[in-house]
A and B are shown apart, each in its own frame.
Chain A
């Protein structure tokens, strides 16, 4: 090899060290940048080799590529864990809020209202002639009603917040999807041609976005050979190369927000991440606390009214409801028919269940009790003729088609319609035998005894026992959510540590590399200096 050749070897060494120092410098600069993946200058022996007698001489060193220290396995796990944590932290927030609504640790709460209500009936039974006790009873009943309504308002408020938040999160998902699509385009541009050049920093940014997206919903990602990323959500493509199919919000019959991609409802397929947590906690509130609270209020109103109607007031009146009577709410899923009236024909026969009316082939209808699953009425549909079942009479009018479905519920309005129907204390029916017996307290005693009675509407529980169950359920939901959140947080932290071990910047390591490449650079420079001296020697011959 010529002396010039040696100079070239030295040059390659200087360039390589310089590039490596650049990479180290970039690493050190980004030591605290979230999502940054450590890069390494990968050196390789330069080709071609020069044949000499007895072997080959090398021609120095090349930087083969600037590699990202990226552990696909850990990163994949971390994305999954971001989804879990997104869900459990959301559920922790929501259930933490819900349990505050049922917080009885102070000296107020629905259980105290219930016991005060029945105690007031007891007090009326002690002094049935006294209107003062009756007035107290009315105000205690009013407190019970307003606390139940306050709690329902709280729960509905939480559901409304969840709906709003789902829409907000969907907006953020769309922003991230747009950014990913844009990055896909730029990465393709840079890496085009299949060369070794990698858009490392852009990939870091994209991975960071995917990580944030994973916290929001259970997306799956796939990178094609060209480096373009496809993001799927609920089995639909959210990002496909440079194209974004934005999430849109839809509302169901009950007014709850759902999500759709390309007009296809994907709500039920999103089960993880923040959105999954919001959806799951919303359904837990609606089918749990909210429906339990409504059932309790309906049972209190129903049981009290059944006894109260049989009694007599001080003014001799009878047949009065103490609480506003239950009312039915209905929904219809039909193109040509609707429930034109739904009334409670026989309050005593009411079971506080919800019913589904479905239309089958040949205009046949079946009414199913949703709680027991039993068919309570069936027949051939005729528009405008009443259908009777379990104390309820409904009239469906219009043209039905097979597959039409209707629901009837005495519970949906139970809390919003909950109210004290008696305003005149003299109309409170404390007497049971006949009118004009002011000393008769048997009916008041009967209602007061409801406090400890097992209530068939509540599965045989007492009112306060059932309410205790609601509170305890809200508590354990919050406890479980909080435990799960801590657990997921631990795993996430662990995985982040492992990711950082593989991909993070270690200043000690970088410092060592700094010294190593500095020394290599110095040595290469020294090489060139020595070669120069050799050339001088030759030129002075």
Chain B
């Protein structure tokens, strides 16, 4: 009778807590599995947060680069305009004003901050990516975010990666009067540009830049100084730079897509882990209640029969 009562109490506890496992001995293997699921749910929740943080960071960088991209496009227009033979020196100087503005805009984009961190400085997030002389002050650090078990995704682009100029091999272009422009890689992202005479290889003019800001600064100076050759020579790098920035944007967009997928996957995995946890841990209310009814019936029967047995004695019949 005691045992039936204990069984009733156990079933009652299950219904009250809604859980099949109220202590490890109720199902030792199930208890360990429940821990696994809970840990997975917790970990997924943190990964979900990481995905959110990473998306915000990458989204912000992508916005900055979108802005840079339209600035570059405008610079291209201005360079074309400035190269036109119909313009006089004072008009070029006027255009130079706008390019100088765009140069400063690019610098401020390259030194974007998200919260208190500089986006394009690599690991040196406490330092602006480019100084006033347009030299890179960050490092090559790639910041990763953990977005699932044993998987990380890079969340930053360094200033060099986003705004650095890339000239893989020497190129030659011919400009007005048969002069030739040589674009020579000069280590890292640096490029040396030489404008050579048409007949011999005499170097008439040379300049060097590493990144979009320096390039824009050169353009701005060339416009101010009415140096048409330089303006023309800068046309190709401007084109390339715009293409490069758009490539980086595409890469960031791809990362955002991946993060979005990952976020969805984590949501799904949370749901399936919760379902699994509930399968292990939660009580099937319907069956628990029918078990209670059964235990109750057994208890009633026991009580009834015990009452009968205990009341029977020969002494009752000997009056």
Contacts and interface: CB of A to CB of B under 8 A. Distances in A.
Interface in B47-101: 47, 49-50, 53-54
Given A122-B50, A445-B144, A472 B29 contact: yes
A445 B125 CA distance: 17
Contacts of B123: 431, 433, 437-440
Contact of A482 (B25, B47, B116): B25
B260 interface: no
Interface string A422-434: 0000000001010
Interface in A454-478: 464-465, 467-469, 471-478
A126 B117 contact: no
B178 interface: no
A78 to B, nearest CB: 20
A122 B21 contact: no
B24 interface: yes
A441 B144 contact: yes
Nearest to B152: A445
A508 B25 contact: no
Contacts of B32: 468-469, 471-472, 475
Contacts of B43: 115, 118-119, 451-452
A474 B40 CA distance: 22
Given A129-B125, A438-B126, A115 B39 contact: yes
Contact of A439 (B38, B141, B150): B141
Contacts of B286: none
Interface in A114-162: 114-116, 118-119, 122-123, 125-130
A166 B287 CA distance: 43
A507 interface: yes
B38 A123 contact: no
Nearest to B3: A486
Interface string A69-112: 00000000000000000000000000110011011110001011
A464 B23 contact: no
Nearest to A507: B313
Interface centre among A431, A475, A479 (most CB of B within 10 A): A475
Contacts of B53: 126-127
A119 B31 contact: no
A472 B31 contact: yes
A439 B24 contact: no
Contacts of A437: 122-124, 139, 141
B121 interface: yes
A438 B122 CA distance: 10
Interface string B135-179: 000010101111001101000100000000000000000000000
Sorting the interface of chain B by its residue count into under 10, 10 to 19, 20 to 34 or 35 or more gives: 35 or more
A523 interface: no
A122 B24 contact: no
Given A103-B24, A438-B124, A439-B121, A471 B45 contact: no
A99 B152 contact: no
B39 A99 contact: no
B26 interface: yes
B117 A129 contact: yes
A448 interface: yes
Nearest to A479: B25
A421 interface: no
B192 interface: no
A433 B125 CA distance: 14
A122 B25 contact: no
Q: Which of B28, B29, B49 has the most CB of A within 10 A?
A: B28
B122 A439 contact: yes
B60 to A, nearest CB: 14
Residue in B23, B33, B47, B116 with the greatest tally of chain A CB atoms within 10 Å:
B23
A534 interface: no
Instruction: Report which residue of B42, B47, B149 has the largest number of chain A beta carbons within 10 angstroms of its beta carbon.
Output: B42
A452 B313 CA distance: 70
Contacts of A471: 24, 28, 31-32, 35
A443 B109 CA distance: 29
B35 A467 contact: yes
Contacts of A431: 123
A440 B24 contact: no
B315 interface: yes
Contact of A112 (B33, B38, B139, B152): B38
B144 to A, nearest CB: 6
B145 A125 contact: yes
A57 interface: no
A500 B66 CA distance: 94
B146 to A, nearest CB: 6
A452 B39 CA distance: 10
Interface in B264-304: 281
A511 B156 CA distance: 98
A449 interface: yes
Nearest to B315: A511
Nearest to B28: A475
A129 B23 contact: no
Contacts of B150: 449, 452
A99 B25 contact: yes
Contacts of A473: 28
